[in-house]
Amino acid sequence: MALAAVFGYLSRFTTVPSSMTESVRATLDDDVLVRIRGLTTVLGGKTIFDQLDMDIPRGKITAIMGPSGTGKTTLLKHITGQMRADAGEIRVDGRNVAELSREQLYKLREGIGYLFQNSALLTDFDVFENVAFPLRQHTQLPEELIRNLVLLKLQAVGLRGAAPLMPSELSGGMARRVALARAIVFDPMLILYDEPFVGLDPVALNQVLRLISTLNQTLGITSVLVAHELAAVRQIAQHVFLIANGKVVAQGDPKTIADDGSPWTRQFFGGEADGPVPFQYPAGDYAQALGFAGVVK
Amino acid sequence: MNARGRQEGNAVTQALAQIGLCGLFLLTLLAAVPRSFRYVRETIRQLWFVGAMSLTIIMVCGLFVGMVLMLQLYHVLSIFGGTSASGMVVALSVYRELGPVITALLFAGRAGTSITAEIGLMRATDQIDAMELMAVDPIAYVATPRFLAGVIAMPLLACVFCAMAIFGGHLVGVSWLGIDNGTFWSNMTAEVDVHTDIVNGVLFKSLAFGAVVSLIAVFQGFTTPPTSEGVAYATTRTVVASSIAILALDFVLTAFLM
C-alpha cells in the first residue's frame, strides 16, 4: 500500500498523458516552456497588455522587469490561470491554460511553484506543516516519507532547525525561504517568483539569490523572476524581458540589456525620474486646477 | 432624478447585487460539499472553534435570560394569581423564540465575526491565493468546512442555551421565589409539544439560522477587499446582515410553522 503510494508519487514526474497530440509533443520537445502570443488584457478600462508576445526558455532563469504597475504580477497570474486574458494564448508545457478544465488546471499547478512577495505561509500551521501541506493534500504518502521529504526541502533552504516554529516567529527572509521550500516540495517544472528580494537585508537577499540559482542548476527548474533589483538579476538571470506600455520593449542578456540604447532601458536601468514613464500622472491643466486659468499666460 | 435619489437607487442596486452574489456563493458552497468530505478533519476543527469555543457565552447568556424571564413573568402573573404557569411560559418562550434567536445572534457576534475576520485576513495575506496555486480548492478546504461547522453547531448550541435558560428559570422560580417544583415541571411537560416546540421551534429554526449566519460570514470573508479596512467593514457587515437576516427569517419561519 505504502509502496504503491510512493510509486504513485514518483510517476507524476515521469508520465506523459497519452492524450497529448503530436503538436503538443512538439511543443514539449522545444526549448520554450511558457509561450505567450498576442496577450491582451484590459482591467478597469486600462490596457495592461497589448498583443504581448513572450517565450520563456525551459530550464533557465528568466527575469521580468518593468516599471511599477505595468502588470508583471498580472502576467504571472495569467501563466497560472488565476486570471483570464481578454485575448491571446498562453501555453505552459504545451497546454493552453485558457482551455484547461478546473481539474486539468489544478493538475498543471501541481507542477508550478509560486513564491509570493509576502510568503503567504498558512498562519495556522508551523513551518513543517506548511511545507508538508501540498504533500498531504495531493498524495497518500506514508507519514515517514512525508517527514523525510519535508526535512530534505527545509535542509535545502537551510531551515531544518526551524521546522517547529510558527510563521509569526520567522523573519521576512526566513519566511521567504520556507515558502520556497514549500514551492519546491513537488520538484516543479516551473517556479514563479513574485518580487522575491523585496524587504530583505543584504544577507537574506544573497541567501535567496543563491537558493534560486542553486535550485535552477541542480533541479533543472525553469525560473521566472519578477524583480526590480538589476544587480541581483544580473547575477543569476540568463534572460531579461523589460515590459512597459503593455508590450515587451526590450529583451536580452541581463549584462548587456541596459546598453541597448532605447529610451525605455535608459530610463529604467538608469533610474531616471522622467522619460517614457512620465513623472507626472496624467492630469488636466495645472493652472486651471489651481484656479488661475486665464490669469497665468 | 436628483443626486440623493440616484445614491439611494445605487444603494438598493448594490444591496440586491450582494444578495444575488450571496445566493450564487451558496450554490458554489453546496457544490463543493462532496469535495470537502476529504477535509473532514478540518470540519471537525472548525466545529471545535465555532461550536465548543462558543459554549461559555451561550451557557452564561442562556442562564441569565432564563432567570430574568422568570423574574418578569412571576411579577406579571402574580397579578392574576397564575404564577404556577410561569415555568411553562418560560419554556415556551425559550423554545419557540428566545432560544434559537438569541443563540443565533450570539453565534453571529462570536463565531460569525471570527470566521469573516479569519478568511478576510487569509485573503489579505495571500493564503487563499497560495492554496489555489497549490491546487487546493479554497472553497472546499476553507469555506465549506466552516459553513458545515456552523450548520451543525447552531442547533446544538441552541439546545444548550434552552437547557440553561430552563435551569435559570428554575433557579429563580423554584429556589428563590418559592414556586412548587412539581408544578413547575408538570405544567411545562404538559404544555410543551416535542414536534411544535422542540423540533420546529428549536432545531429547525436554529438549523436555518446556522446556515444563514455561516453563509453570510463565509461570503463576507471571501468577498472582502484584501485590506485591513476591508476586513473591518466585512466583520461589521457580518454582524449587521446576520442580525437582520435572523430576525426577518424568524418572522417568516414562525408564520409558516405556527
Determine the distance in angstroms separating the CA of B134 from the nearest CA of chain A, rounded to an integer: 6
In this prediction, residue A21 carries a pLDDT of: 45
**pLDDT for B25-45, tens place per residue?**
999 999 999 999 989 999 999
Calpha distance B182→B206 (Å, rounded): 30
Average pLDDT of chain A?
A: 85
Residue of A25 and B240 predicted with greater confidence: B240
- CB-based contact A116 B129, cutoff 8 Å: yes
Pairs of residues, one from chain A and one from chain B, whose beta carbons lie less than 8 Å apart: 44
Average pLDDT of chain B?
A: 93
In this prediction, residue A151 carries a pLDDT of: 95
* A257-261, B107-111, B131-135, B241-245: range with lowest mean pLDDT: A257-261
Percent of chain B exceeding pLDDT 70 equals 100
In this prediction, residue A14 carries a pLDDT of: 41
- Is A12 an 8 Å CB contact of chain B? no
pLDDT of A25 over the 50 cut: no
- Is B127 an 8 Å CB contact of chain A? yes
- Is A100 an 8 Å CB contact of chain B? no
**CA geometry: angle A31, A34, A35, nearest 5 deg:** 90
DSSP class of residue A169 equals G
In this prediction, residue A82 carries a pLDDT of: 92
**Average pLDDT for A60-75:** 90
- CB-based contact A120 B135, cutoff 8 Å: no
Predicted complex ipTM: 0.79
Across the interface, which of A106, A110, A120 has its CB nearest the CB of B126?
A: A120
pLDDT of B208 over the 60 cut: yes
Q: Which helix (H) or strand (E) holds A34?
A: strand A32-43
Which residues in A lie closer than 8 A to residue B122 (C-beta atoms)? 123
Q: Which of residues 120-139 of A touch B (CB under 8 A)?
A: 120-123, 133-134, 137-138
User: Helix, strand, coil shares of chain B as percentages rounded to 5?
Assistant: 90, 0, 10
Calpha distance A23→B162 (Å, rounded): 68
pLDDT of A28 over the 60 cut: no
Which residues in B lie closer than 8 A to residue A137 (C-beta atoms)? 134-136, 141
- Is A82 an 8 Å CB contact of chain B? yes
Calpha distance B244→B258 (Å, rounded): 21
Give the start-to-end residue ranges of the domains of chain B: 55-257
In this prediction, residue A289 carries a pLDDT of: 85
